[in-house]
């Protein structure tokens, strides 16, 4: 498996607009794009070759709202960009890593993503992402 870079660091928030303003006004990090995937509203803010991803859950029981209810707002997960997500999942499965997503699913900016089970990663939620040709929109 080839990890190309840290694609993003995700932060769970209970106020996306407020969080975007904080990153924009305090740190001078502009919004690159915002989108909705299912009940999750997200914003991508570029920092060099990586992103800060801000996530807000819009429905009871979605992953972000459940995370916040259990752990509070703040760091949610780290995402590694991989060249071939299918091969990466096969390799990790063969190494005994537990997967939350057995197959990739649609993700941010047209990517294909999968999450690993934190029980296999020292308690850290890790996402893998294979970006579409040409990167983010």
CATH code, domain carrying 119: 3.10.180.10
CA dihedral (76, 64, 27, 108) positive or negative: positive
What is the per-residue pLDDT across 24-44, written as a single tens digit (0 to 9) for each? 999 999 999 999 999 999 999
Q: Is residue 105 part of a domain?
A: yes
Q: Using 50 as the pLDDT threshold, list the residues of the chain that sit under it.
A: none
Q: What are 5's strand-pairing partners?
A: 81
Average pLDDT score, the chain: 94
In this prediction, residue 8 carries a pLDDT of 97
Q: Give the domain extent around 111.
A: 3-130
Q: Is residue 72 part of a domain?
A: yes
Burial class (CB in 10 A: 0-12, 13-18, 19+), 101: middle
Q: Is residue 136 part of a domain?
A: no
Q: Is residue 137 part of a domain?
A: no
Q: Is residue 28 part of a domain?
A: yes
In this prediction, residue 136 carries a pLDDT of 61
Q: What percent of the chain has pLDDT over 90?
A: 88
In this prediction, residue 54 carries a pLDDT of 97
In this prediction, residue 135 carries a pLDDT of 65
In this prediction, residue 59 carries a pLDDT of 79
Q: Is residue 88 part of a domain?
A: yes
Q: Is 9 left (phi over 0), alpha (psi -120 to 50) or beta?
A: beta
Q: Is residue 135 part of a domain?
A: no
Count of domains forming the chain: 1
């Amino acid at each position: 498996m080839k990890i190309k870079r840290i694609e993003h660091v995700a932060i769970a928030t209970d106020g996306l607009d407020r969080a975007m303003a904080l990153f924009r006004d305090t740190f001078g990090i502009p919004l690159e794009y915002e989108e909705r995937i299912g009940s999750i509203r997200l914003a991508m803010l570029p920092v060099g070759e990586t992103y800060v991803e801000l996530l807000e859950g819009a429905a009871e029981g979605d992953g972000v709202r459940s995370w916040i209810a259990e752990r509070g707002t703040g760091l949610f997960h780290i995402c590694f960009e991989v060249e071939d997500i299918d091969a990466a999942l096969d390799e990790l499965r063969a190494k005994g890593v537990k997967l939350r997503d057995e197959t990739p699913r649609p993700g941010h900016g047209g990517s294909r993503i999968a999450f690993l089970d934190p029980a296999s990663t020292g308690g850290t939620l890790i996402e893998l992402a294979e970006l579409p040709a040409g990167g983010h929109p």
